[in-house]
Amino acid sequence: MISFYNGTRRVPKLCAWVGLGMLLGFAPWPLALAAAELPLQVLDPRTDSGSTTRARVNILGRTSPDAQVTVAGEAARVFATGIFVRDQVSLQMGENRIQIVATGANGTRAEQMVTMIRTAEADFSARNAEGTGSAVSQEELWPETEHKVGVVKNDGAGLSFGVHEVRLGGPYLAELPAGTLLRVVGVRGNNYRVRLTPALDVWISSRDVEWATNNTALPHLAFTAVSVSGDASGDSVTIPYASPVPFSVAPGLSPAGRGAIHIDFYGAHHAATWLSHQASAKVVREVSLEQVATDHLRVTVELAERQLWGYRWSITNNAFRLRVRRAPSLAAAPASPLQGLTVALEPGHGGSNTGARGVSGSLEKDVNRMAVEALAAQFRAAGAAVVVVREGDEDLTLDAGTRRAIESDAQLFISVHANAASQDRGYLRVSGTSTYYKWSFNRDFSAAIHERLLAHTRLDDFGNVGNFNYYPIRVNTWMPSMLVEQAFMSNPEDEAKMLDPEFRKEMMRAVVLGTEDWLKTLRTQ
């Protein structure tokens, strides 16, 4: 069995790494060559000569895992994958000849020379004086008499707080259903300015809007009654919705520290005198309404407990319906609280979407798939049922995978990825494990897993990250959802650990134990 525990020379022979490379489809060199001579390949810089204006260069290469390597006379770190690295090698002005020497365990030796020419940075002052930046599109704000009524064309159209480009999209105030009517008051580039209230403007992509007919009036919402009912799986809150005004839905906490869901209607006023709460409703404690400001009505759905187990909303028959999920029954101690639960797992990427590429050539989609296979086995051993939303190397959209998780009616959702970072300042500079969540009701779930990952893997701490806009954990509010970034594909030590089956098993054990820790806390409550 191949074993690469901590990224430093636990593999005694090159054949072990070549075997794993062939398994994953990236064998570094022919077996015959590996057996005949000590291999030495420089991966970065990609040629044996080049020029740069930088004062330092990072050297990355591949050799036998049991070899020792020096770069410019100083020892480089050699990892279990055979990758070696020495970061931030200093360069003098002019020509720099960097000698790389690998010495095998049997005394064999291989050498390679890299020549880097360091030149002075160009003088950009003249160019900057002329202005080289691309023109920023100017905003056109229309007078009130020229405001237009727009119709949302696509389900999930996002209302953002400003015009910006952010990785993963968002953050969004709301993601609206098709048919919502909006007051459009201006334009900037490919975005329309939307006025929700006299004090709140937001933005929407022009591709998500078409113009209403000339006789379409701006909608306004008022309702006199709200009803709450329940059944064995959860509670339903029904709010009349006769006018398609924009709205936002977000989880949070009530002033009393209980779980809550806030529904904000824009272009609405408080007219309710009848809030009917049936005895069958056990999850929702109370519904309250507040006129926050002109045209801004907030409906707060306060839960009986602190933990929210999921919600989703729909628009049907001129009504806004919020479905709030009932807490699952957790097996009594000493049994694992996972017994009887269903966990949905997403191995990140797949098919043509390979994700990040490791420094040794491994693909993130394969690293994620192997991790989820180990994680699924350990969840099943703890008594949970498992739904893997992407089987094998399936080419699956994020939307399709999220729908599978929701339709499975799982109680928990975990997405598994591997991180990557720029290597400009070194391959070893950024490392560690991290966890991510979007909504506040997932924070403790994510934090419990993060704590176990640090304790069991002893990887660096890259943080428990909130407000993360990755689509599946943003959209899948039907269950507590979080994401694990195992470690960094761009760091050769992290990559070697993720490729080690024993380390992978221990890392995934930490995910299961963290989930149990969180569930046990809820069980005691």
> In Å, how far are 349, 443, 466, 484, 492 from 446, measured between CA atoms?
21, 5, 9, 8, 26
Backbone angles phi, psi at 378, to 5 degrees: -75, -35
Model confidence, pTM: 0.89
CATH code of the region 143-211: 2.30.30.40
413 three-state secondary structure: strand
Would you place residue 169 in the very low, low, confident or very high pLDDT band (cuts 50, 70, 90)?
A: confident
- Of 387, 380, 524, 518, the closest CA to residue 449 belongs to 518
| pLDDT single digits (tens) 383-401 | 999 999 998 999 999 999 9
Q: Cα–Cα distance between 277 and 79 in angstroms, integer?
A: 63
Contact predicate 197/263, CB 8 Å: no
Q: In the block, which residue shows the tokens 């640090």?
A: 454
Lowest-confidence region among 36-50, 260-274, 296-310, 441-455:
36-50
Lowest-confidence region among 14-28, 102-116, 141-155, 321-335:
14-28
Does residue 30 surpass a pLDDT of 80? no
472 three-state secondary structure: helix
Residues of the chain within CATH 2.60.40.3500 domain(s) are: 221-325
Which ranges constitute the DSSP H helices of 72-217? 125-130
How would you label 222-258 residue by residue, b for 16+ Cβ within 10 Å and e otherwise?
ebeebbbebeeebbbbbbbbebbbbbbbebeebeeeb
Q: Cα–Cα distance between 500 and 2 in angstroms, integer?
A: 8
Looking at residue 379, its pLDDT comes to 98
Looking at residue 168, its pLDDT comes to 80
Q: Name the maximum alpha-carbon separation found in the chain.
A: 88
Does residue 127 surpass a pLDDT of 50? no
Does residue 496 surpass a pLDDT of 90? yes
Q: Cα–Cα distance between 19 and 4 in angstroms, integer?
A: 12
- Superfamily in which the 342-524 domain is placed by CATH: Zn-dependent exopeptidases (3.40.630.40)
Residues of the chain within CATH 2.30.30.40 domain(s) are: 143-211
Would you say domain 14-118 falls under CATH 2.60.40.10?
Answer: yes
Q: Sign (positive/negative) of CA torsion 170, 172, 176, 182?
A: negative
Looking at residue 4, its pLDDT comes to 31
By residue count, the chain amounts to 525
Amino acid symbol at 519: L
Residues of the chain within CATH 3.40.630.40 domain(s) are: 342-524
Residue 253 structure tokens: 């906490």
Which ranges constitute the DSSP H helices of 275-392? 364-381
CATH code of the region 221-325: 2.60.40.3500
Amino acid symbol at 173: L
Residues of the chain within CATH 2.60.40.10 domain(s) are: 14-118
Would you place residue 446 in the very low, low, confident or very high pLDDT band (cuts 50, 70, 90)?
A: very high
> In Å, how far are 42, 102, 261 from 108, measured between CA atoms?
18, 8, 67
| pLDDT single digits (tens) 129-140 | 444 444 557 899
Instruction: Give the distance, in angstroms, between the CA of residue 335 and the centroid of all CA atoms in the same chain.
Output: 32
Average pLDDT for the chain: 91
Q: In the block, which residue shows the tokens 């953050």?
A: 171
